[in-house]
Each structure stands twice: as C-alpha cells, then as structure tokens.
Amino acid sequence: WSIILRFFYYVFLGCYIMGVAYNATGTVVRERQQRTLDALLLLPVERREILWAKWVASLTRGWPWLALLLADILLGTAVGVYHPLSALLLCLVPWPMVVFLASLGLLVSVTMQTVMRANLVLVLVMLPFFYISAGNVLFNGPAAYIPMVMFSTWGQWDQWAMASHHSHPFVIAWGLMILYV
C-alpha cells in the first residue's frame, strides 16, 4: 500500500500543479489575444483585484485533483501508510510550490503577447523544474521537502527521528518552502 499510495500522491499532486500553472499562464494573455482585456479593464475594480481573481481561479479549477489527493491521504491514513501528523503535513507542504507556480504562470501571462508564446515559456520554465525533481523525487529537487513528512504509523518514526537529529536535509527542505513563498 505504501508504494502505491505514495506514487498516486505524486501523480495527483503533479497533475494539479501542472494544471494550476497552465491555467494561470493562459488567463491574461487569452483575454488580450481575444481582445476582451480592454472591456475587462473598464470594470469599476482595481487591476489588482482582477489579477487576484484570475490567480484564485487558476487554483480552484483543479479541485478534482485536490479531491483525489485528499482521498489518497485519507485512505493512506486509514490503512496506516501515513501517520495522522504526516497526513496533515502532506495536505499543507505542497502549497508553497503551488502558490509559486500559480504566481509564475500569472507573471508569464501578463508579460506575453500570445497564448502560444506564453505556453512555450511555461514549458521552458517547467522542464528544468520537473527534470530536477524527476530523477530524485525523494531526495533532491523542488519536491525535496515533501518526503520528509511521509512517515507512517508502522515503524518509520526512526527515519523521521534521524532526519530531525541530522537536520541538514530537513532545514534545506523547509528553506525551499520559504523560497517558494
């Protein structure tokens, strides 16, 4: 169960993150390309509020992936793959990466002139991001801090204790979270 649930955790998280980045990348540039941005800017709201609404919308469009992710965590907690504290942390620790990529996607969307160019820039930015994490998803890369909280109720406390006594990797992982924020 442990391998299967952890595999699907990363699959669901990866799909949600890619969807968030893709949705955020197309928000403003699509409005510009379809020539509806001028009408949107004539609304009696500040531009900051429009960007905020587009940023939040890019996060909420992927709710089915979040539901699958939550089901994976709840099932893993029920069968003992994840400790309850680990389940809580697995719900919280991906958010700095999600917020970072949603913001990056929105930045690309604001600065590019066409949807195709924005998507190309997103791919060029995301390729190194995922390449770094794909080879050693459990030890290095952008997702390095997630496995630090994947301890179970069935005797993996020793790994957690070892990680906290030798806190160098743990500090690096939390540093990455702060960097994303």
pLDDT digits (tens, 9 = 90+) for 78-137: 888 888 887 888 888 888 888 988 999 999 988 888 888 888 988 888 877 766 655 444
Alpha-carbon dihedral sign for residues 107, 109, 114, 120? positive
Measured in whole angstroms, the distance separating CA 145 from the mean position of its chain's CA atoms is 12
Reduced to 3 states (helix: H, G, I; strand: E, B; else coil), residue 59 is helix
pLDDT digits (tens, 9 = 90+) for 19-64: 999 999 988 888 888 787 777 777 788 888 888 988 899 999 989 9
Rg of the chain, C-alpha, whole Å: 19
DSSP state of 81: S
82, 73 Cβ separation under 8 angstroms: yes
The closest of 10, 165, 168 to 90, measured between CA atoms, is 10
pTM: 0.75
Alpha carbons 111 and 39: distance in angstroms, whole number: 19
